[in-house]
Amino acid sequence: MAAREEMRLLSEALGVFSVLQSVKLDSDENIAAAVKFCDEKGAESVDDIVQNGFVDDFVSALRLKSIPGRKLKAALQPLDSLASQLSRRGERPASSRPQLSARPIEPKLLLREGAPVTTEQANDLQQSLHAHLGSRSWDEWWPQVCISYATGTRPGVDARGAGPGMLQAAAIMQALHGAGIPCASGLHVPPGSNWKDFLIKIDSRFSRCEVLIVLLSSAFFRSHPCLLEVHKATQAKRMKIIPLRCEEPLPNKDEQWLDVGMQDARLLDEVQSQLGSINALPARGLFFDDEKYLKELVAQITKEVSRGTTPNVKAGARHKT
């Protein structure tokens, strides 16, 4: 079991697990073969496989039948279709795009089919979000709004650990910050800290969170951290959950969080029941198709929470009931 888990972690670090999972080829045998191929070729990520022309060799190494092999090959080659889309739409090359930094994120970068997200952009963006804490430390900061999102790294397109999901979450946080509403996500967790430290910002004795914004995407419904974040919100005595439709089509109930075992069946059911009963914003289409939806979201949240900076929490304070 330990060896199996280690192999999966390696495949996730390389970026091949998400590719295999997207075409339902994430068996232990395929994962092991994929990791072995990367090791033999010296590939540090799935990007290396695509950019160095090893897609056919990679697919062959997994010894798949014809149709599964074609599906995997298609999943590994989004760059050609992306390049043609950008050409038709007159997008500027990555080198001429403005840096994200603290400036507003360009709407076109927020789309699922948007331009690649680079390591430099992702790091600059995360640093700008850390500035939202001001002089406070992460341990002292208890925001009124939290965001649950999945990075959604597109294999062969985005840098490792980067993707449209983080840009979408950051755009919302920037808008709320500008409206004087503290808002946090996993992007605020400091280097060297456990990502689960974010969970207590959603609900705990000291939490001041009143709203959880959920960015619905196919990657979200594969993310175990997202599952835990939403479940944390369902346990709060007072919490408004606002789902935003960021991608279509979305997985149906039987296709969500497929890696969850029977030991977490109740947790999964509670999250799916809660999310399934809430209308997403917008009613039709996608949230980032029109800037007006972001304005509507900020207006809605302003009504839900007290404006201004949340004061530091005194020892013994509890989540409001």
Nearest to 241 by CA among 187, 280, 195, 270: 280
Task: Report the chain's C-alpha Rg in angstroms.
Answer: 20
Half-sphere exposure of 36 (CA within 13 A, CB side): 10
CATH of 102-304, one of 3.50.50.60, 3.40.50.970, 3.40.50.10140, 3.40.462.40: 3.40.50.10140
User: What is the full per-residue pLDDT of the chain (321 aa) written as tens digits?
Assistant: 567 877 887 887 777 887 888 788 989 999 999 999 988 988 887 777 877 888 899 999 999 999 999 888 877 764 333 333 333 434 433 333 333 333 445 555 566 567 788 998 899 888 888 877 777 889 989 999 999 999 999 999 999 999 999 999 999 998 888 888 889 999 999 988 899 999 999 999 999 999 999 999 999 999 999 999 999 999 998 899 999 999 999 999 999 999 999 999 999 999 999 999 999 999 999 999 888 999 999 999 998 885 433 333 333 333 443
**Cα–Cα distance, 80 to 84 (Å, whole number):** 6
Q: Is the pTM of this model over 0.85?
A: no
Angle at 66 between CA 60 and CA 67, to 5 degrees: 120
- Residue 94 has a pLDDT of 37
Instruction: Say what the pLDDT of residue 249 is.
Output: 92
Written as one string, the DSSP assignment of 98-135 is: PP-TTSPPPGGGGSTT-PPPPHHHHHHHHHHHHGGGTT
* Bridge partner residues of 146 (DSSP): 184, 212
Residue 62, classified by CB atoms within 10 Å of its CB into exposed (0-12), middle (13-18) or buried (19+), is buried
- pLDDT of the residue at 11: 82
Q: Tell me what pLDDT residue 311 has.
A: 38
Structure tokens belonging to residue 283: 């009613």
Q: Residue 321, Cβ neighbours under 10 Å: how many?
A: 6
Helix (H, G, I), strand (E, B) or coil at 76: helix
C-alpha to C-alpha distance for 195 and 157, rounded to whole angstroms: 25
CA distance 57 to 263: 38
